Amino acid sequence: MRRNSLCGVLLCGAVAAGAQAQVRLDSQIANLADDLVVANRILYSQGVVDGFGHVSARSPVDPGHFFMARSVAPSGVTQSDIMEFDADGKALAGDTRLPYAERFIHSEIYRARPDVMAVVHAHSPAVIGFGITGVPLRPVYHMSGFLGRTTPVFEIRDAVPAAPETDLLVKNPALGAKLAERLGRNAVVLMRGHGFTAVASSVPVAVFRAVYTDQNARIQSEALKLGTPRYLSEEEAALTQRTMEGLSVRSWEMWKKQAGLPP
Ligand SMILES: [Zn+2]
């Protein structure tokens, strides 16, 4: 009653609706932060990341922003480590914690690809050979149809021809933009002498793609020793992608358990 004396019913209704909407958004962000914690633990548990590597998610509130952990090893990420960044990769709200140096991989991919909601960057050993030999990484089985016909390789020397000697890290927006350009419309881009970056429309699917990029690389390397692999056709790749990614929640739940996390 006291509230009604302070504001009209319509206004109070609007305030209440606004508060409810805020609670919904806060809960969406909390769920996303939880997904990022789970993603970090899974990627570590599955051997895709080690002390390095990171995963991010686009903000459901401000599509120009994204969330990712501060600069810590993925195996120990908790909700309190999650930071919010703007479209230029700058930390928000005066957050002075140390961010990952390669956050520009994420910021520039989100800028270039409005369809991308999550990004994984990793250095898993199995994929490195495909970035340094000219042997293309191609889908060899039904779990990796998202690789499509082939996987592009980002050559950092081409991105900075005037000063091609670098530490190979994507440490500024200009390099991030070049990487995003090389990624194009693909799901995965390899990075010569460095690793790979996978993108998707959700955190669980980005993790799915990262894990199966690694597994595809292992299987393809073994197959190449045996003979000439028969790769998935483009049509097979598209069809298997649709089927298997539709079931990706099964892997997510299993990997979560394997990582020692509660259901
Ligand atoms: Zn890296």
Q: Output the CA 100–ligand 1 centroid distance in Å.
A: 9
Q: Does some domain include residue 156?
A: yes
Neighbours of 3 (CB within 10 A): 11
pLDDT at 77: 97
Average pLDDT of every residue of the chain = 93
Tell me how crowded residue 148 is: count the other CB atoms within 10 A of its CB: 19
The answer, yes or no, to whether residue 129 has pLDDT greater than 50, is yes
User: What's the distance, Cα to Cα, between the start and end of the chain in Å?
Assistant: 43
pLDDT of 16 above 80: no
Distance 105 CA to ligand 1 centre (A): 9
Per the DSSP assignment, residues forming a β-bridge with 82 are 69
**What is the pLDDT, as a whole number, of residue 1?**
32
Q: How far apart are CA 221 and CA 137, in angstroms?
A: 9
Nearest-5° Cα angle at 44, 33 to 81: 30
Average pLDDT over residues 105-134: 98
Evaluate whether 179 touches 109 at the Cβ level (below 8 Å).
Answer: yes
Tens of pLDDT, residues 183-226: 999 999 999 999 999 999 999 999 999 999 999 999 999 999 99
From ligand 1's centre to the CA of 158, what distance in Å?
17
Residue 49 CA to ligand 1 center (angstroms) comes to: 10
Asked whether the predicted pLDDT for residue 235 surpasses 90, the reply is yes
Q: Contact, 111 vs 87, CB < 8 A?
A: yes
CA distance linking residue 23 with residue 46, whole number of Å: 34
Confidence grade of residue 4 (pLDDT, cut at 50, 70, 90):
very low
In a domain, 91, yes or no: yes
> How far is Cα 105 from Cα 122, in angstroms, rounded to an integer?
11
List strand residue ranges (DSSP E) for 72-117, in order: 82-85
What is the pTM for the complete model shown? 0.91
Domain presence at residue 237: yes
d(CA 79, CA 130): 34
Task: Assign residue 127 the CATH number of its domain.
Answer: 3.40.225.10
Predicted pLDDT of residue 27: 87
Contact 183, 109 (CB under 8 A): yes
What six digits make up the tokens of 12? 């109070």
Q: Is the pLDDT of residue 12 over 70?
A: no
What is the whole-number distance in angstroms between the Cα of residue 53 and the centre of ligand 1?
A: 6
Whole-number Å distance between alpha carbons of 185 and 180? 9
Distance CA 119, CA 187 (A): 10
d(C-alpha 144, C-alpha 50), whole Å: 22
Centroid of ligand 1 to alpha carbon of 8 (angstroms): 55
Q: Which amino acid is at 34?
A: D
**In b/e form, how buried is each residue of 176-202, taking b as 16+ CB within 10 angstroms?**
bbbbbebbeebbbbbbbebbbbbbbeb
Residue 149 DSSP one-character state: S
Whether residue 133 lies inside any domain: the answer is: yes
Q: Does residue 93 lie in a domain region?
A: yes
Catalytic site residues? 102
Give me 93's structure tokens. Answer: 């709200």
263 found inside a domain: no
> What residue numbers bound the domain in which 93 lies?
2-258
Number of domains in the chain: 1
Per the domain annotation, does 81 fall within a domain? yes
How far apart, in whole angstroms, are the C-alpha atoms of residue 126 and residue 221? 8
Minimum mean pLDDT range among 20-29, 133-142, 144-153? 20-29
